[in-house]
Structure 1
Amino acid sequence: MWVTWREAMQRALYGENGFYIRERPSGHFRTSVAASPAFADAVLRLLGTVDAALGHPPEIDLVDVGSGDGLLVTQVLRTAGPELAERLRVTAVDLSPPPADLDKEVTWTGTLPETIAGLVIANEWLDNVPLDVAEQTPDGPRLVLVEPETGRERLGGPPGARDMEWLERWWPLGSTGLRAEIGLPRDEAWASVVSRLSRGLAVAVDYAHPVDNRPPFGTLTGYRDGACVPAVPDRSCDITAHVALDACAAAGERAGAISTTLSTQRDALRGLGVSGTRPPLSLAGTDPGGYLRALAQASQEAELIDPAGLGGFGWLSQWKRGQPVDTLSDSSPRMT
């Protein structure tokens, strides 16, 4: 049976016995959250900035979209000071069942809260939002169909009108390559996040590429057991594709964002105090244990901001104030 890549990804990742229904991401690929507690510390500092900007309200939200095993919110809760922790409403959004040891203060849900006031962070979520793939032909773009059990592909009909508009604006085939991943579902997913944000900050962190440097053959790939594998949507592996964060940013602005920043994880985390600076060697003579702990911390931080690795991730940050705009609930894909 031949289906579009969007349908194949939806079934493989989130359908019955889908990959993300039965698996935790930490068992298959390394994330910033798992690499070091310094990532959660940076998120906590960012939350403090948002809290101050909102005037330290009686309650403030922290929403983790695509929470996986809940590690990020767990680490933030453990290190938040008592005054902030008392006001903090923590929500982990994921389709998988909650982990057995989840902190009782965390609300685990498969859908976004209707209204959010505070910080929303979506770390490596948008890359797993299912999307269609198109290839350029002499007759114009055509959708790529896939056989889910084998990963074999063939060409189908032309994309729909909205997808064609997206391609022409954000990934014009011919001038930028022969194959594109149509990011409209990611735009709608991100807009659904921003539209629910009454005031505060929404942050998306993911592998990304800009409109003037799209990969000519796309980025669709699979991951399993820590290794990159062919993208076969048979439920056996993660299926992922890099994100057009610039297109998502535009969608967020249409959903009411009043300020947008696009940067790299390296720049964003360095601005939040993650430096990767090694401790002075003199500390080894006066406090060997402290030196080793500081050295391990520096090594973990260096991994988070390595421009050739996790530091090369894109960071999309969008502020929102005022009344929430209409949501895109009818067209939003399911949370992962």
Structure 2
Amino acid sequence: MSIRWRNAMERALYGPDGFFVSGAGPAHHFRTSVHASPAFAAALSRLLAQVDAALDHPPVLDVVDVGAGRGELLVALLRAVEAPLADRVRPTAVELAPRPGHLPDRISWVHEIPDRITGLLIATEWLDNVPLDVAVHTDNGWHYLLVDATTGQETVGAPITPADSDWLTTWWPADAGGRAEIGRGRDEAWADAVGHVDRGLALAVDYGHLRDGRPQGGSLTGYRNGRQVPPVPDGSCDVTAHVAMDSVASAGERVARCAYSLVPQREALRALGADGGRPPLSLAGRDPAGYVRALAAASAVGELTDPVGLGGHWWLRQPVGVAPGSLVAR
């Protein structure tokens, strides 16, 4: 039976046997910034210190990871955060999968975003897996695309709703092709996440695009075992599409009532001290082993800042209840 893409993605990714709920976890299938280098967590630890200072060092500082995978980011971040700040950090993983057995006891594991967050909410490569509808333009206007969850074969369905039509009119220009990915559900998911933050910063890190550069024909695809595959929504692979970052940012801004910052990952990481520069050759003469270590670290950071790879991620920083200037990476 063919159903709308949004429903198919929901079932394939988050159903009882879904890709993100069962099995070894996403790290087994694709590489994220968290897995590429400890420099990513180190940069986030410096951002967390900025959040802490902007909040005037509260007795408890929340760090909430939405779409936490198997907890890799929080584990790495706890290693990177230095005392005395580390003693005040309260880490929480938000994930539908069962709690991994190896996870440190101090990391809470929940299925829904907690309320009254004071600190940092992080969503790395979460929004690209929030299910969305796909539409195709016909002689009779925009219609939903239906997909067979077993074969991945698509057929044209009913006309899109007025709400989705309004979203396309605002955010998806007509010259982006006859196929569109409707990001309204992602806007709502991000606005909801931001709404759980009382004071602090909501940070989304993801592959994405802006209105003037929407992908021709869309970006829906699949990943399995480190390889790109057709996006068949049968639960055996990740099904993902890039994020309309400007639309998401606008939705979050309406909730936070505060200006946001949207920059490529390579700029955000460099501003936080991860520049990927080669160590000086003089170091090789006086400390060969140290030079090799520094060169390896620079190579790992280079992967994080490569504009055609992970460096092409967008960083959306959405302050809530604090002055935006206090949270600008510098």
Letter in 2 for 1:105: R
Distance 2:13 2:239 in 1: 7
SS of the residue corresponding to residue 200 of structure 1 reads: strand
Displacement after TM superposition at 1:79 (Å): 2.4
Q: Aligned residue for 2:305?
A: 305
Q: Aligned residue for 1:269?
A: 269
**1:163 touches 1:182 (CA, 8 Å); kept in 2?**
yes
Letter in 2 for 1:242: H
Distance 1:78 1:220 in 2: 35
- Out of 277-286 and 28-37, give the one that drifted further: 277-286
1:230-269 aligned within 5 A: 230-269=230-269
- Out of 184-193 and 174-183, give the one that drifted further: 174-183
Displacement after TM superposition at 1:312 (Å): 0.8
1:8-23 aligned within 5 A: 8-23=8-23
Displacement after TM superposition at 1:16 (Å): 1.7
**1:259 touches 1:320 (CA, 8 Å); kept in 2?**
no
Distance 1:101 1:279 in 2: 35
Distance 2:104 2:293 in 1: 27
Distance 1:33 1:255 in 2: 28
Displacement after TM superposition at 1:159 (Å): 1.0
1:86-97 aligned within 5 A: 86-97=87-98
Displacement after TM superposition at 1:283 (Å): 1.5
Letter in 2 for 1:52: A
Displacement after TM superposition at 1:256 (Å): 2.1
- Out of 79-88 and 246-255, give the one that drifted further: 79-88
- Out of 163-172 and 184-193, give the one that drifted further: 163-172
SS of the residue corresponding to residue 82 of structure 1 reads: coil
Displacement after TM superposition at 1:205 (Å): 0.7
Deviations 1:58-108 (A, max 9, x none): 111111111112111111112222211111111111111122111111001
**1:257 touches 1:318 (CA, 8 Å); kept in 2?**
no
**2:135 touches 2:143 (CA, 8 Å); kept in 1?**
yes
Q: Aligned residue for 1:326?
A: none
Deviations 1:21-74 (A, max 9, x none): 113111001100000000000010000000001111111111111111211111
**1:32 touches 1:39 (CA, 8 Å); kept in 2?**
yes
Q: Aligned residue for 1:177?
A: 177
**2:4 touches 2:145 (CA, 8 Å); kept in 1?**
yes
Distance 2:245 2:33 in 1: 18
SS of the residue corresponding to residue 141 of structure 1 reads: strand
**2:51 touches 2:200 (CA, 8 Å); kept in 1?**
yes
Distance 2:257 2:269 in 1: 22
Q: Aligned residue for 1:329?
A: none
Deviations 1:99-139 (A, max 9, x none): 21111110011110011111111000000000100011111
Aligned residues: 321
1:1-336 aligned within 5 A: 1-23=1-23, 24-172=25-173, 174-321=174-321
Distance 1:106 1:96 in 2: 15
Letter in 2 for 1:28: H
Distance 1:241 1:319 in 2: 26
SS of the residue corresponding to residue 278 of structure 2 reads: coil
Q: Aligned residues: percent identity?
A: 56
Task: Give the alignment's TM-score, normalised by structure 1.
Answer: 0.94
Q: Which runs of 5+ in 1 are unaligned?
A: 323-336
| RMSD (Å), alpha carbons | 1.0
**2:125 touches 2:205 (CA, 8 Å); kept in 1?**
yes
Distance 2:104 2:53 in 1: 25
Displacement after TM superposition at 1:257 (Å): 3.8
Q: Which runs of 5+ in 2 are unaligned?
A: 323-330
Distance 2:194 2:230 in 1: 33
Letter in 1 for 2:68: S
Distance 2:37 2:100 in 1: 20
